[in-house]
Copies of this chain bind each other. A is one copy, B any other.
Amino acid sequence: MGVLAIDFGGTRTRTAWYNADLEQQARDETPSLVNQPAESVIRRIIETARRVVPSGAVIEAIGISAPGPLDSRTGIIRHAKTLPGWRNVPLASIISEALGAPAWMENDANLAALAEYHLGAGRGCDPAVYLTLSTGMGGGAVVGGRLFTGWSGLAIEPGHMRFTLADGSVRRLEELASGTAIGQRARERLAQASASSSLRDVPEITGQAVGQAALNGDPLALEVVREAGFWLGLGMVNLLHLLSPQVIIVGGSASLLGDLLFDPARTTIEAHVLDPAFIPPALIRPAALGDDVCLVGAAAFALQTL
């Protein structure tokens, strides 16, 4: 007996077999090749899944991590930026029928939150909030030990908090504090100012390039990262006042900036929180789980839902 976990991503599909203690027993992976027709993609997911099920074993439940927005109650992928041509695909029920076990699907950031709560940086924390900062900004929350997705089943989406800028425009937090935002802001700064910067020698100013320059001490890159940290902190102030988490775990490529990004966030939180009693010890923590975070989350979700 065990649960099957499937992490279907835009680039790779990972599958693994877990026991009831969330210990991984077998693992496989394959390229997702999402530009091929959906039928082939799904067939390959199912083949990769079959390879990790021990022969003769009964699958108790299947947990599936997939890119959102998706409807976890029906197991339908509504649409996803990373899946061209996928519209309202009932992925959970297709996989459930093929493998003969109940299957539940959730979006990757929500399952990463659940995984970090069970085995990572958020163990025992209530509520535990997870943010992923990379191209965009995703997130998830675990309340009372269970994934919290609100009435819509689509929460939480911290990257979609709104702020206003000096020009009166309304921006999403992910437009101000994601890796993409950091790259964009650096390009704007380089175009405006004449300040010297090691970034002037870089052919493509990505968030990653800016991050590397900041880690090397480039002043313009550091300023851009500090600015992103300010907005991240302001978003965390809102998270504290609305969810009052015991931990905010930060994953994704931009989290590699570490305290360069987190210190200005901490300063902003201290300046703007209503009461210091909202701030737990070690509020901001880097994600602890690696590539298999969504597999662990999918297995935990299947066990929890079962």
Contact = CB atoms under 8 A, between A and B. Distances in A.
Interface in A268-285: 271-275, 277-278, 280
In the complex, which of the residues A153, A162, A164, A245 has the most CB atoms of chain B within 10 Å of its own CB atom? A162
A169 to B, nearest CB: 10
A160 interface: yes
Contact of A155 (B155, B165, B242): B242
B241 A274 contact: no
A156 B69 contact: no
Contact of A162 (B156, B234, B277): B234
Interface residues of A, number: 47
Secondary structure call for the A interface: loop
A84 B69 CA distance: 50
A209 B243 CA distance: 35
B241 A158 contact: yes
A192 interface: no
Interface stretch (A9-17, A39-47, A111-119, A143-151): A143-151
A166 B168 contact: yes
B246 A151 contact: yes
A184 interface: no
B241 A170 contact: no
In the complex, which of the residues A157, A238, A280 has the most CB atoms of chain B within 10 Å of its own CB atom? A238
A85 to B, nearest CB: 19
Contacts of A71: 277
A246 B149 CA distance: 12
Contact of A154 (B158, B271, B275): B275
In the complex, which of the residues A71, A127, A237, A274 has the most CB atoms of chain B within 10 Å of its own CB atom? A274
Contacts of A168: 166
Contact of A170 (B125, B144, B234, B275): B234
A154 B277 contact: yes
Given A151-B126, A234-B170, A278-B154, A162 B243 contact: no
Given A71-B277, A164-B164, 8 more contacts: A69-B274, A127-B150, A152-B244, A153-B244, A156-B243, A160-B237, A164-B166, A166-B167
The 8 nearest A-B residue pairs measured at CB:
A150-B244, A155-B244, A151-B246, A157-B241, A160-B241, A160-B274, A152-B244, A152-B278
Interface of A: 69, 71, 125-127, 143-144, 148-158, 160-168, 170, 234, 237-246, 271-275, 277-278, 280
9 contacts: A69-B275, A127-B150, A150-B243, A151-B280, A152-B244, A155-B243, A160-B241, A166-B168, A170-B272
